[in-house]
Structure 1
Amino acid sequence: MADPETSSPPRVPLKRTASAASLADVLDSSRKKLKEEGASEDTNASRVVAGDLGGLVATGGVTAELIEQLAQELQCGCCCSLLYRPVLVQPCQHAFCGSCCVLWIKNGGTNCPACRGISTTVTPCRPLQTILDVLLRSAPHLARTERERQQADEIYTGTTMRIPAPRESSPDPDVNASTEYARPCPNCSAGNAYGWVCAQPIVDPNVDPENAWPLEDGAPPGHASCGNCENLLALASPLTSKCDFCQVSFCGITAQGRCMAAAILVQQPHEYQDVGDMIQSANIYESFSNNNVEVEIMLDYLTTQNISPRHIYRDIVTHILLQPRGFLPLIEQELFVDVHSSAGGTDPDPQAPRNKICRQCAAEVFLYGLRDWFLRERSKGFLEEAVLRKKDCVDGAECRRQQEFDHAREFNHMVPFASSQAAQGAAPPVPAIVPPPPAPLADSDDDHDDDDDDNDDEEETDVILNAGAVDRSFESMSDVSIPALAAAQQDEDMPDVVF
């Protein structure tokens, strides 16, 4: 064993990657050691230059010192253990365990854990895996335990991953929050760049402190706080928009595309730009009752089919609009209450049509319908056979053990909730109306009674067939345009929905 006083200092974690250059340095030092011990330099040097570590193992040329140094160079910067299923972070090419990278992304990581540089993708590294296999054949005691390998395999499936870009933070709120008086909004000053002037401008406290508006009295007349940037806005400004779900107004000035309520089908759900954002979101797992197995199946499906969160959101909205009660079940559940720090107004009519929605409320709709959307997607047959053939759990979606990995992997819990129809606002199936039997007539009309019964049977059959035709009319409307959707709803005597 090497003397601690003369041995090289320990490698600083996360300082460099297990690159080819660093491995060459280790092998060069080992070659010098073998030369001092009288080994055949020509034979061993040729093997090292060729990178034939397997040959060194076969001839007994791998020393304990070489194994130790290789193990240090092949150490994961996250878990500080020997790499398992190594991956490279691009473009810096630092190496980590695949499972460590997945957990790092899920916990909100956007930059490389080693150099903190901007990272784009994570790719499997076969050359490092080959070196690890050769090393473990000569030093099997360095291998992970079977349980550790099993847990890591459950987390990382061996695919290339995209690292989400760092989120752009909203601008800091105006100094209204830390001052005693309200300051003018962007539309209060005459000749402002937005083409509209407030009818009741806010007095600048620095110019006229005696007539300034105290913040303790609430928002000044004709003004409110923006739901995104929290700055004061003019309610009557053409740039101001209002969400029909949370009743909060947005200035449309501070952060373009974020300080606004847009049409329902074109809005972007807050914090869900791509699949990487879904991986990091704890709300995604909560919407699946924290069943990590089912969430990973869905995420793999989204990656394979190249489906974005915005595409899912539009499918969910279209499905909700096709329901008889539309968004009313979501409003009755108070799904959009207190989604902003800025106070919203009172909903004048919960049954009124909904035209515009903000990003936060769009995210609530996205999370509300995500699980049912994936249930509908599973019927398309794109999932693996092993997933589709899993036995259904006897407790279904209400199972309390689906958070246990072994149980979730063995049984399928992707079945509708018992109250899914009520939660979606779907009307219960209406039985066909059967005409009441005719009143008894005189014996002399028995023959006519038989004819009437036959007519009744024909009418009942016609009612059932017509009901089936109505049901089938909705099957081809998943990609229907907005005008066609509204026309279809009016034709079927559904509540009017204004888009």
Structure 2
Amino acid sequence: MPPDGLRLPPEQSSPTPGSLFSALLSDMSGSRSYTSGSTGATLKRRASPSFEDVQAETSRKRVKDNLQDTPVSGNEAAVQAATATINSGALANELEQELQCACCSALVYRPVVVVPCQHFFCGSCVVMWIRNGGTNCPACRGLSSIVTPSRALQTMVDVLLRHAPDRVRPANERIQADEIYRTGVSLRIPSPRQASPEPSLQPRNVNYVQPCPHCTAGNQYGWVCPQPIADPEVNPDHAWHTEDGTPPGHAYCGNCENILALTAPTSTRCDFCQVSFCGIGIPTRCVAAPLLMQHPHGLSDIGDLIQCGEIYDCFDSNTVEVDIMLDYLTAQRLTPKHIYREIVAYIQTQPRQFAPLIELDLFQDIHNVAGGIDPGLSAPRSRICRLCATEVFLWGLRDWWVRERRKGFLEEYVTRRPDCLDGSGCPRQKDHGHAKEC
């Protein structure tokens, strides 16, 4: 029975699906139709667009129903099955392209999303990006801070692999990625490191010492040096020659290396390296701060730890243990300054406090300028410079990690590893397989 509004010529009593489909296409185009009571084709005005849309949709549905009712031969069934296979393969290819990691250009594995730009990557790719110094989104280089796991993307990947299992990543890649990134862990992209401000270096005469900021009467700092240095440009007869050493009552700043007055209110001295600091050149760096208020030099965030080769030296190149520690610090959002404070607090509870570090000469010759004489092992240590704070941090980092592991915050796969019988003296620290076991 032909659709409404369509009369077939008398000689075509049983139309074939092909002729019926052609007639329907002609009817949907609106260019010609068959009128009731006539055997020939007559032209009429084109239907309105809204009517054409409804009629086209209805006609397509009727054609589909008629074709489904029409029995198909074996060859036609094979063609339909092949067409469905081709379409599903094309869909899988397109979906795989859409789910590619922007870093490794492969099907995303353990996907994570960067906030706020919403670019997604493999979790292991983002971890390696951060470890190599990345401080923004790997795709758009936009400022980002948080990377979160994506359950929606993982569901799409699972659906794809369920219907196209041949698209799965190789087993060795998945094993390696699982060692780098643990599923469900949020990551933190370190903020870009700001360049240090340039010190206000004073012009120096190679033969004579320039006056310190406090040597001139009426200076802007409101304090006058009791032993002023003569300006070689104004009073060359009383100028201090560089070959005569450091002028009395003065020293050179351990950071900006400008001359300073030892008794000036802005001057401070590190109780570890015995080097003085002016507090003027770069106020935040040219200073020996109280122990618990200082920042380790060059270690502002986790990104700095990742790029610091000396961190691996602290663990005798045991990269497995270092990676576990870095993942823990990232998950707990612990900063190097927080670790440094805990190390200092622990040392202060020990009977000899900082004496073992002094005996190891950790603080000797770490500045470009000479320091004073150490008063002795039992001398109080209340102020420290940035470089000495870094030495304390590196010296106590491994023992801090041992104490931190005992708190029970680590995951089971880490805590169930037995301790090596040889301890810190184990000769197999660099053995990757042994490090994973113990």
Query: What TM-score comes out, normalization by structure 1 length?
Result: 0.62
SS class of match (2:409) = coil
Question: Does the residue aligned with 1:123 lie in a helix, a strand or coil?
Answer: strand
Name the residue aligned to 2:131.
Answer: 106
Contact 1:233–1:240, Cα closer than 8 Å, also in 2: yes
* Partner secondary structure for residue 147 of structure 2: strand
Superposition deviation, residue 287 in structure 1:
1.5
The answer as to 2:374 corresponding to 1:347 is: yes
Match in the other structure for 2:30: none
> For each residue in 1:107-140, what CA deviation from the matched residue of structure 2 results, as whole angstroms up to 9, or x when unmatched?
2222233333322112222333333334445555
**One of 240, 252, 269 as aligned partner of 1:242:** 269
Gaps of 5+ in 2: 1-59, 65-82
In the alignment, what sits opposite 2:193? 167
- Structure 1 partner of 2:176: 151
Compared with structure 1, are the counterparts of its residues 100 and 222 closer, same or farther at alpha carbon in structure 2 (3 Å cutoff)? farther
Structure 1 pair 136–252 and aligned structure 2 pair: CA distance change class (3 A): same
User: C-alpha separation between the residues in 1 aligned to 2:423 and 2:337?
Assistant: 29
Q: How many angstroms does 1:249 deviate by? A: 1.2
Q: Deviations over 1:73-112 (max 9, x none)?
A: 5443433444322222222333332212212222222223
> Aligned equivalents of 2:136 and 2:253: distance in 1?
31
Instruction: Pick from 94, 97, 100 the counterpart of residue 119 of structure 2.
Output: 94
What does 1:216-365 correspond to in 2, within 5 Å?
219-302=246-329, 307-365=334-392
SS of aligned partner of 1:192: coil
1:301 deviates by 4.2
Q: For 1:209 and 1:140, how far apart are their aligned partners in 2?
A: 86
Q: Is the 8 A contact 1:176 1:182 kept in 2?
A: no
Work out whether 1:122 is the aligned partner of 2:147: yes
SS in structure 2 at match of 1:224: strand
Distance 1:340 1:275 in 2: 25
Secondary structure, in 3 states, of the residue corresponding to 1:102?
helix
* Equivalent position of 2:401 in the other structure: 374
* 1:260 partner SS: coil
SS in 1 for 2:113: strand
The offset of 1:329, in angstroms, is 1.1
Partner of 2:251, secondary structure, is strand
Q: 1: CA distance between counterparts of 2:232 and 2:286?
A: 26
Out of 386, 397, 408, the position equivalent to 2:424 is: 397
Q: Name which one, 1 or 2, has greater alpha-carbon Rg.
A: 2
Specify the SS of the correspondent of 1:89. strand
Match of 2:21? none
Contact residue 274 and residue 371 of structure 2 kept, 8 A: yes
Distance 1:87-1:381 versus aligned 2 partners, 3 A rule: closer
What SS does the aligned partner of 1:255 have? Answer: coil
The answer (yes or no) to whether the contact 2:201–2:281 under 8 Å persists in 1 is no
Letter in 2 for 1:162: R
Structure 2 CA distance for aligned equivalents of residues 395 and 177 of structure 1: 57
Deviation by residue 1:292-332 (Cα, 9 ceiling, x = unmatched): 33234334444555554434333322332333322111111
How far residue 192 of structure 1 moved from its aligned partner, in angstroms, is 2.8
**Hey, what's the Cα distance between the residues in 1 that align with 2:153 and 2:334?**
32
Aligned residue type for 1:107: N
Contact 1:105–1:280 (8 Å) recurs in 2: no
In 2, Cα distance between the equivalents of 1:183 and 1:164?
42
Give matches, 1:402-417, under 5 Å. 402-411=429-438
Is residue 170–residue 255 contact of structure 1 (8 Å, CA) maintained in 2? Answer: no
Code of the residue aligned with 2:180 in structure 1: it is: I
How many Å apart are 1:162 and its aligned residue? Answer: 1.6
Deviations 1:196-249 (A, max 9, x none): 123444556676788766667665554333223333332221111000101111
Instruction: State the one-letter code of the partner of 2:172.
Output: R
Please say if residues 298 and 374 of structure 1, whose CA atoms lie closer than 8 Å, have aligned partners that are also in contact.
yes
* TM-superposition CA deviations, 1:345-401 (whole Å, max 9, x none): 332434422221112212211221122223233333333444333233233222232
Write the deviation string for residues 417-466 of structure 1: whole angstroms up to 9, x where unpaired: xxxxxxxxxxxxxxxxxxxxxxxxxxxxxxxxxxxxxxxxxxxxxxxxxx
Query: What is the number of equivalent residue pairs in this alignment?
Result: 358
Residues 393 and 125 of structure 1: CA distance in aligned 2, closer, same or farther (over 3 Å): same
Give 1:133's aligned residue.
Answer: 158
2:110 aligned residue (70, 73, 85): 85
Q: Determine the C-alpha separation between the residues in 2 that align with 1:87 and 1:311.
A: 27
Q: Is the 8 A contact 1:228 1:250 kept in 2?
A: yes
Give the drift of 1:61: 6.1
SS state of the match for residue 233, structure 1? Answer: strand
CA spacing shift, 1:103–1:223, aligned 2, 3 Å: farther
In structure 2, the CA distance between the partners of 1:208 and 1:171, relative to structure 1 (3 Å rule), is farther
Please, which moves more after superposition, 132-141 or 336-345? Answer: 132-141
User: Which residue of structure 1 lines up, in the alignment, with residue 6 of structure 2?
Assistant: none
- Give the Cα–Cα distance (whole angstroms) in 2 for the partners of residues 132 and 177 of structure 1: 64
The offset of 1:176, in angstroms, is: 5.2
CA-based RMSD of the aligned residues comes to 3.6
Note if contact 1:244-1:356 (Cα within 8 Å) is conserved in structure 2: yes
Q: CA deviation at 1:68?
A: 5.2
The answer on whether the counterparts of 1:171 and 1:229 sit within 8 Å (CA) in structure 2 is no
User: SS at 1:187's partner residue?
Assistant: coil
Deviation of the 1:291 alpha carbon: 2.1
